[in-house]
Structure 1
Amino acid sequence: MVGPEHTLRQAARMMSARRVGSAVVIDPDSEGIGIMTERDVLNAIGAGLDCDVERTAAHLTWDVVYAGPDWTVEEAAAAMARGGFRHLVVLDGREVAGVISVRDLMRVWARQHSPTGV
């Protein structure tokens, strides 16, 4: 998780350190939960913006589709395909329970379709 006032460089460092492609952004001054992805950082760099000055709040997605903790893998995959995104924030009530990525879905699919189940 990162805050809306973190710089893009700080967010990128945290995501890199955890080897993830997204970070949940919680703004304590608002009701929303947003998501910052590696693509958001890449787009800012590509536009020539200064990653040490730009704040995550200006480069994240607030219009997030949330999954519930009881969603099936198929439901998560369908929502991601419909929305055209690679990360899905999982909420348990109002609390962030985690993030599902396309990589997570591929891992589950591969395990289910492997002859050895591994």
Structure 2
Amino acid sequence: MLVRDAMSTVVLTIGPAHTLRQAAALMSARRVGAAVVLDPDAGGLGILTERDVLNAVGRGLSPDAEPAHAHTTTDVVFAAPSWTLEEAARAMTHGGFRHLIVMDRDEPAGIVSVRDILRCWAPAPQPVPS
């Protein structure tokens, strides 16, 4: 199975000046665990995850004052839609992260998470008819 078969095509894109609270509210509303941070001034894409927000708040930082760019991972590993799920899982394990931005022709096409991969590898059991 390929990344394109497992990825979520709902890509939340935010700007670097969004606060952590704004980012968290948008992620919650869209029911996603990561946002792509598009910073035209820095010339690239980054990723902000729910764990980044949690770590910042856990350190006592204000979610209303902290900008997303201060907590964005910018040395991102990107996946291709044609990667196998094994390749994606290997990249996540090697890098110690749970989300990969999927790029297609230099554009974000989706995000694949550990949960997406697990859903494909261990689908929910179907109820047994009585």
- 1:1-118 alignment runs, 5 A limit: 1-111=13-123
Measured in 1, the distance between the counterparts of 2:107 and 2:41 equals 16
% identity of equivalent residues: 63
Shift, 1:93, TM fit: 2.1
Q: Which runs of 5+ in 1 are unaligned?
A: none
Q: Which amino acid aligns with 1:83?
A: G
Please identify, of 83-92 and 25-34, the stretch whose mean Cα deviation from structure 2 is larger.
25-34
* Equivalent position SS for 1:36: strand
Structure 2 residue matching 1:70: 3-state secondary structure: coil
Deviation at 1:38, TM superposition (A): 0.7
Partners of 1:46 and 1:23 lie apart in 2 by 19
SS in 2 for 1:24: strand
Q: CA offsets per residue over residues 24-68 of structure 1, 9 Å max, x none?
A: 101122221100011110111111111111100001100110001
Unaligned runs of 5+ in 2: 1-12
Q: Secondary structure of 2:74's match? A: coil
Which runs of at least 4 in structure 1 moved beyond 2 Å after TM superposition? 113-116
Match of 1:6, SS state, is: coil
Structure 2 distance, partners of 1:88, 1:29, is 22
Partner residue, 2:3: none
Letter paired with 1:70: S
1:69-99 deviation line (CA, Å, top 9, x unaligned): 1111111111111111100011112100111
